Amino acid sequence: MRYSPGDLSVRLPDIADGDALVAVSAADKAFSEWRRTSLDERIAHLRDAGQRIAAIKDELAHGITIETGKPITEATAEVGFVVAKIELAIADAKRYLAEFSEADNARPNVVRRRPRGVAAVIGPFNFPIHLAHGAIVAYLLAGNTVIFKPSPFAAGVCGSYGKAMAQAFPPGVFGVVQGGVAIGQALVSDPRVRSICFTGSVNAGRAIARACVDDVSKDVALELGGKNAAIVCGDADLDLAATAIVDAAIATTGQRCNSTSRVLVDSAVAADLIDRLRSALAQIAPGDPLETATRLGPLISAESADRFACAIALPGDWLTPGQRIESISTPIGTAATKRGHYVTPALLRLTADEAPSHPLFRDEVFAPLLTITSTTADAQAIALSNATPFGLTASVFTRDAVRFGAMADELNVGNVYHDLPTTLSPGTLPFGGHANSGNGHPGGRGFIRFATDEQVIQRRE
């Protein structure tokens, strides 16, 4: 049984598992026609889909909030990104699918991109529509057919999105198959599925890669976790840094791949930054995600809240202890209550010696939990930032642009920010990680290159 994470008295409808074989057969059948359509035709279908999604945007935002507990302002923004992505993806398709010739080749030639076939897109709960949608529209524009397996936590709202999308395409070109791990495995193991875009945890990403390992022609793009650091130099604007750190630690209740979860601060300004962080975190109380004033909603599940409770029970130098809260008052400030998976943010101080091997410094907790570590040199901050298995995002706060540039060169992450939060990932730029954070950069601009095969043609004359 499923319940709304922000209100455990609200039962969510059960959604039956789909049939992966039936979905793949339909997508495989549709591919032979869809691949022959022109880019202009595919763009027309995509724009139709965009209008259908825009027409139900409030329903989708409400669904995201009810099923995942994401605050309604964030859910509304997510649906806005989904609609905006259509034109960004069309611009990408025109740019990256354009044929070209190499003038310095001895013979006339054409380099072009062709669709792969059936693509499977497996999505996470935290941006249940937006992250999958970016890959879905790229695959479709490139002439692939697509099956979307959403997170079971957001099955209802993803089903509504899928219905609106599917109506804009010929039968079989786009479909949703519901289910969990078993359906995901059935999809990725099917030999007719030629390309996979997965967004989720490292362990699930590994399981998917393992399922595909014997078929070397299958493309597998993985967008995985992050353990993202904010590096605060001695010359930083501390107000700006503290605001960006707190925003990026609590957005989506810390359940973003690019959430800030570690702070590395020059010891000269550590005390001042800690004061600012503690007072900002103390202002943040969890609230009903359906209220527009709420910044911190619930965690996704009881398991997630238990994991957070275990983390904050670890002995250590807790500057802000964090709490699990069984119920909140709603509307904020009234006596009415809602039970849910609520928490308050936590801040743990770790020394530079203990940090690299500390689980809360290395592992993704996926909750509003920050560690803070004082450093004595930029090189030490960089080494600590790089001392995790992940490589997604990092921010550097400094008034010195040259210093920022030198540090960016050394940071082993896919996205580096100067005086900005680690969560900034506009759809207008590429996005993706290194190391255990994944490959293929599925998250942003340019993914359409991955959604295709290159074909090179040469003529005698």
The residues assigned a catalytic role are 223, 257
Measured from the CB of residue 82, what is the shortest distance to ligand NAD in angstroms? Answer: 15
Residues 6+ apart with CB under 8 A from 143: 34, 35, 37, 42, 114, 115, 452
Measured from the CB of residue 438, what is the shortest distance to ligand NAD in angstroms? Answer: 6
Judge contact between 123 and 149, C-beta under 8 A. Answer: yes
Judge contact between 361 and 388, C-beta under 8 A. Answer: yes
| 342 three-class SS | strand
Q: Which of 86, 118, 120, 131 binds ligand NAD (CB under 6 A)?
A: 131
CA 185 to chain centre: 20
Stretch that binds ligand NAD, among 19-27, 120-128, 139-147, 288-296 (CB under 6 A): 120-128
Q: Which of 31, 34, 125, 308 binds ligand NAD (CB under 6 A)?
A: 125
Residues 6+ apart with CB under 8 A from 299: 5, 69, 253, 255, 305, 308, 341, 342, 343, 367
Q: Would you say the C-alpha torsion 124, 128, 134, 135 has a positive or negative sign?
A: positive
Judge contact between 433 and 392, C-beta under 8 A. Answer: yes
Residues 6+ apart with CB under 8 A from 255: 125, 126, 299, 300, 304, 366, 367
What residues from 221 to 260 belong to the interface with ligand NAD (CB under 6 A)?
223-226, 257
CA 105 to chain centre: 41
Judge contact between 320 and 242, C-beta under 8 A. Answer: no
Minimum CB distance to ligand NAD smaller for 262 or for 349: 262
Q: Which of 117, 286, 289, 438 binds ligand NAD (CB under 6 A)?
A: 438
Residue nearest to ligand NAD (CB): 184
Stretch that binds ligand NAD, among 86-94, 219-227, 329-337, 350-358 (CB under 6 A): 219-227
Which tokens sit at 300? 């996704």
Q: Which of 170, 180, 405, 426 binds ligand NAD (CB under 6 A)?
A: 180
Q: Which of 53, 72, 208, 277 binds ligand NAD (CB under 6 A)?
A: 208
Which residue type sits at 329? S
Q: Which of 122, 168, 176, 448 binds ligand NAD (CB under 6 A)?
A: 122
CA distances to 261, 408, 444 from 414, rounded to whole Å, are 16, 10, 12
Minimum CB distance to ligand NAD smaller for 288 or for 364: 364
Q: How many CB atoms lie within 10 A of CB 292?
A: 9
Count, residues near ligand NAD per rule CB under 6 A: 32
Minimum CB distance to ligand NAD smaller for 184 or for 298: 184
- Pick the closest to residue 296 from 285, 306, 280 (CA basis): 285
Q: Does 207 bind ligand NAD (CB under 6 A)?
A: yes
Q: Which of 68, 185, 261, 422 binds ligand NAD (CB under 6 A)?
A: 185
Q: Which of 71, 115, 117, 123 binds ligand NAD (CB under 6 A)?
A: 123
Q: Does 433 bind ligand NAD (CB under 6 A)?
A: yes
Stretch that binds ligand NAD, among 42-50, 124-132, 246-254, 415-423 (CB under 6 A): 124-132
Q: Does 119 bind ligand NAD (CB under 6 A)?
A: no
The position carrying tokens 């601060």 is: 265
Q: Does 390 bind ligand NAD (CB under 6 A)?
A: no
Q: Which of 156, 172, 175, 184 binds ligand NAD (CB under 6 A)?
A: 184
Q: Does 115 bind ligand NAD (CB under 6 A)?
A: no
Measured from the CB of residue 442, what is the shortest distance to ligand NAD in angstroms? Answer: 7
| Ramachandran quadrant class, 251 (left: phi over 0; alpha: psi -120 to 50; beta: rest) | beta
Q: Does 204 bind ligand NAD (CB under 6 A)?
A: yes
Measured from the CB of residue 302, what is the shortest distance to ligand NAD in angstroms? Answer: 14
Q: Does 200 bind ligand NAD (CB under 6 A)?
A: yes
Stretch that binds ligand NAD, among 10-18, 53-61, 178-186, 398-406 (CB under 6 A): 178-186
Measured from the CB of residue 68, what is the shortest distance to ligand NAD in angstroms? Answer: 10
DSSP state of 3: E
DSSP state of 392: S
Judge contact between 237 and 419, C-beta under 8 A. Answer: yes
Give residues in contact with ligand NAD (CB under 6 A).
122-127, 131, 149, 151-152, 180-181, 184-185, 199-201, 204, 207-208, 223-226, 257, 364, 366, 392, 433, 437-438, 443
